[in-house]
Amino acid sequence: MGIIEKMRLDGKRGFVTGAARGIGKCTATAFAEAGADVAIVDMDLETAQATAQEIAQATGRKVIALKCDVTDEAQVQAMVDEVVRQLGGLDFCHANAGICINAPADEMTYAQWKKNMDVNLNSVFLTDTIAGRYMLSHGGGSIINTASMSAHIVNVPQPQCAYNASKAGVIQLTKSLAVEWAKRGVRVNSISPGYIGTDLTLSSETLKPLIAQWNAMAPMGRLGKPEELESICVYLAGDTSTFTTGADFGLDGAFTCF
């Protein structure tokens, strides 16, 4: 079997949170294109259903849509149970849901801080551990977490201390779970995207004025594209990455190199 065949995900089942649009939609599409059956998990069920139908029609794979508040333990458990029921098992997952609250630290409310931590870090703990328990008892699996280059640097000019801290937490959580589960068949890795030109970023009235400044600071002089994150996620979900765990993959066009 050649390397291209080995990279495929035929027969595998997984889910992506925050997958109705943006990065999550791209990775879910890539998983299905590689042969996997996939659940599109999002709070926006209507958009998730449209995304699932679009991917299913394009790939011929079984793609389902599930609504889930990933900060709610009971809902995450129910979501994982439903993925297993409808897809027949769980081999990988991509914990991708997240938010960013831009507010100066001296003006940020504690409620804003807690919401950012709840969505960006606590939800990853819930998703990873609930999916992980299933994988640990069913022969193993692969977990991919979306961190950020903001775990490694302090972004400017936008103030986002809560986001930066939460994403740093994602990386340390990733490494901790990877070490705990290394001998039990479950691998845990993270990706750290830089500035990515998602529809949300490109249409945001708050962020659009910052793009020129970001690009001026970037070695490659541009935003990344969501599809430029796909191949690493397919690699991590599959069987060619069986010695890869506890790693964080920087996907930022060298932004964090200086």
Domains of the chain, first to last? 3-245 (3.40.50.720)
Catalytic option among 25, 134, 142, 167: 167
pLDDT at 251: 97
Catalytic residue flag (residue 115)? no
pLDDT at 198: 86
Q: Cα–Cα distance between 121 and 151 in angstroms, integer?
A: 12
- How many CB atoms neighbour CB 193 within 10 A? 23
Torsion of Cα atoms, 30 then 33 then 34 then 37, to 10°? 90
Catalytic residue flag (residue 123)? no
What is the mean predicted confidence (pLDDT) over 145-152?
A: 97
- What's the predicted TM-score (pTM) here? 0.96
Catalytic residue flag (residue 167)? yes
Query: Is residue 204 very low, low, confident or very high in pLDDT (cuts 50, 70, 90)?
Result: confident
pLDDT at 201: 79
Catalytic option among 142, 148, 150, 166: 148
pLDDT at 206: 76
Catalytic option among 12, 123, 150, 163: 163
What is the mean predicted confidence (pLDDT) over 67-89?
A: 98
How far CA 101 is from CA of 12, 116, 195, 233, 252, in Å, comes to 35, 7, 15, 26, 20
Average pLDDT in the chain: 96
